[in-house]
Amino acid sequence: MPPAPSPKTHYPNLVVFDHPLIQHKLTLMRDKTTGFMAFRSLMRQIAALMVFEVTRTFHAERIQVDTPLEQTTGSRINAQITVVPVLRAGLGMADAILEVMPEARVGHLGLARDEKTLKPISYLSKLPKHLNAGPVILVDPMLATGGSAVAALTMLREAGADDLRMIALVASPEGVTTLGEHHPDVKIYAAALDRGLDERGYIRPGLGDAGDRLYGTT
Please give the residue ranges that form the binding site for ligand URA (CB under 6 A): 142, 144, 201-203, 206, 209-211
| Pick 7 or 120: Cβ nearer ligand PRP | 120
Per CB under 6 A, which of residues 1..30 are in contact with ligand PRP? Answer: none
| Pick 81 or 188: Cβ nearer ligand URA | 188
Give the separation between CA 86 and CA 83, rounded to whole angstroms: 10
| Pick 107 or 147: Cβ nearer ligand PRP | 147
DSSP code per residue over the chain: -PPPPPHHHH-TTEEE---HHHHHHHHHHH-TT--HHHHHHHHHHHHHHHHHHHTTT---EEEEEE-SS-EEEEEE--S--EEEEEETTTHHHHHHHHHH-TT-EE-EEEEEE-TTT--EEEEEEE--S-GGGS-EEEE-SEESSSHHHHHHHHHHHHTT--SEEEEEEEE-HHHHHHHHHH-TT-EEEEEEE-SEE-TTS-EESS-S-HHHHHHT--
Cβ distance 104 to 167 under 8 Å? no
For the CB of residue 116, give the shortest distance to ligand PRP in the complex, in Å: 13
For the CB of residue 92, give the shortest distance to ligand PRP in the complex, in Å: 9
| Pick 134 or 183: Cβ nearer ligand PRP | 183
| Pick 185 or 198: Cβ nearer ligand PRP | 198
Cβ distance 194 to 202 under 8 Å? no
Give the separation between CA 213 and CA 197, rounded to whole angstroms: 19
| Pick 61 or 114: Cβ nearer ligand PRP | 114
**Contact of residue 55 among ligand URA, ligand PRP, none (CB under 5-8 Å per partner type):** none
For the CB of residue 47, give the shortest distance to ligand URA in the complex, in Å: 16
**Contact of residue 148 among ligand PRP, ligand URA, none (CB under 5-8 Å per partner type):** ligand PRP
**Contact of residue 86 among ligand PRP, ligand URA, none (CB under 5-8 Å per partner type):** ligand PRP
For the CB of residue 48, give the shortest distance to ligand PRP in the complex, in Å: 19
Instruction: Tell which one of 50, 140, 183, 186 touches ligand PRP (CB under 6 A).
Output: 140
Contact residues toward ligand PRP (CB under 6 A) are: 86-89, 111-113, 118, 120, 140-149, 175, 201, 209-211
